A and B are shown apart, each in its own frame.
Chain A
Amino acid sequence: MSSFRDRLRAFLEANDPGRPPKDPADRLRHQHEWAALLVDEGFAAPSWPRQWGGMDLPLADQVAYHEAFAKVRRPAHPGSGIFVVGPTIIKHGSDEQRERFLRPGLRGDIIWVQGFSEPEAGSDLPSLRTRADRDGDDYIVSGQKIWITNARSADWLFALVRTGSRESRQHGISYLLIDMTSPGVTVRPLRDMTGGSSFCEIFLDSVRVPVANLVGEENEGWKIARTSLGHERSTAIVAQGMRYRRIIDELHQLARDLGRTHDPRTRQLLAAIEIDVRLIILNNTRTLSTVLAGSDPGPVSSIGRLMFTEFEKRLHELAVDLIGAPSMLAPADPYSVQRGRWVTGFLATRASTIGAGTAEIQRNTIAEQVLGLPREEPVPVAT
């Protein structure tokens, strides 16, 4: 185990592509080169089989991997959707799909994005309406997907589509891989409340998709979409805790730089957020140690996400309050604090309790699946 850590440390020390370029196209190339290097040198996808470009590491080494990467600044993956679609293809895909998509996706040669949400299907994802109708060896796909991250540079979309009857809910959903260059695919950027447009919506107008791009069986997409490899989420969560440990340390430094560490109110606020981050890390550790001991963490892991999203909001509220006026300056302003990072983060984290399952959905899950409370009234069939 220590030899793996040593090899990893040596690799990271020897390889540092430096700060990302400002120009978006250059930045994408920068990220692509790094992702490809990781695959080629055998330092990508710790939980994936070697056959598909991964490392097939034991759980303890996966943790070490995430720890090491969280400590250093390295380029983000250019198409992180592969880490969602990849495990699904590994478990449920055809050999042809595995050959064609896994390694290129990891290397960043293919940029994957996720098309699950629709304008009318957010929290209630099983009500999604994008239709895929069989026509010979193809599906004809029509509908609209929304809140897709970085769709403008995407090559492939993995989408949930309706193949069953309108009322079939999760029993009539299929998992489809869609080539973004297909005729009938239109991408439109969305302006979000930070002023940026990292999200897009995708319109699908009678797009022909070969049946060979179906993952698993028709109408089995709902279950398939929940695939993950072993306990990779529990190990990856380590990185998240470490990242926020680092951010809190930076916040402490900021308080020192601003000369605020003697202010009693600031001290109280910093102490409160310090407790928060420690609790999150402890909770992650608890989940992880259960996994490492070979058992299922069960209900404990469902606490993590809710804690984390609400913490993220509080942290940025605190930072903006602490910095005051300079946090509100334009990023390029000479007096701005860390290029406006905190107020941008403040605005961006308002989405934390919305995206990937609202706080209400998370609490319902805990209330019903962990505490065993009765479900709300049965859902009437949508008309």
Chain B
Amino acid sequence: MKTASLTGRAAVVSLALLFSLLVAWHLATRDTGTAQRMDPEYAKLMGVTATQGKSAMPGPIDVGAKLWEHLRRPFYDNGPNDKGVGIQLAFSIARVLTGYLLAILVAVPVGFLIGMSPLMSKALDPFIQVLKPISPLAWMPLALYTIKDSSLSAIFVIFICSLWPTLINTAFGVASVRREWLNVAKTLEVGTLRRAFTIILPAAAPTILTGMRISIGIAWLVIVAAEMLVGGTGIGYFVWNEWNNLSITNVITAILVIGIVGMLLDLMLARLTRLVTFPE
């Protein structure tokens, strides 16, 4: 009962914050400024920001209308350079998931290896330390040059950026499985493989999934930047294309959509983490 009322009160505060934010935003952008005096023939050639001194920043109502417009027909396809937000999101999500799953396929086994073998841990450490802090986008020119395919390059960039958190968390999780459990396994003469799957994996699973959760977050952060760089398709391209048109309304709409999808991806991983968590 206590928690329910806490959630309820939190929701009220959230809504109040949202409301005041929208009102402040609306008030800040409502000002149309003073109309410039111009020759009508000249004024006809100019945009509203120049003629009426209107702020280039859209208000919440403009953005809401735009958002509704995009959500109403998310899957339109007017040729290769103009597709609906839904299609663009699908492209982005497909890229993220491909790169991410590949990264997990590599990161978890390698993490196990590092966690179980102190020798490998020491030997691979310098490589990981050097490669980890590299901005994923710095790989882009190299990827374009060697892979020779912009779509695969974007996937590669996602792969490389989602690799490290999972790898490091897996190694950490595996290395910090409680000694007693391993000792029990040793007394019972359990083989290495069986030990890995029946004892270490369940014990390290929460840590591994936390790593995977961080990875998907980073992957979603990076895809937008990567797509802005190579263009073509995806939500990042959509942002770039609307920036090209200096349409702040569309850019804000896209930002909202990106945030919501990122949140959903994170929620999914959070659910999974909860499934494998165990009480000590």
Q: Do A and B come from one complex?
A: no
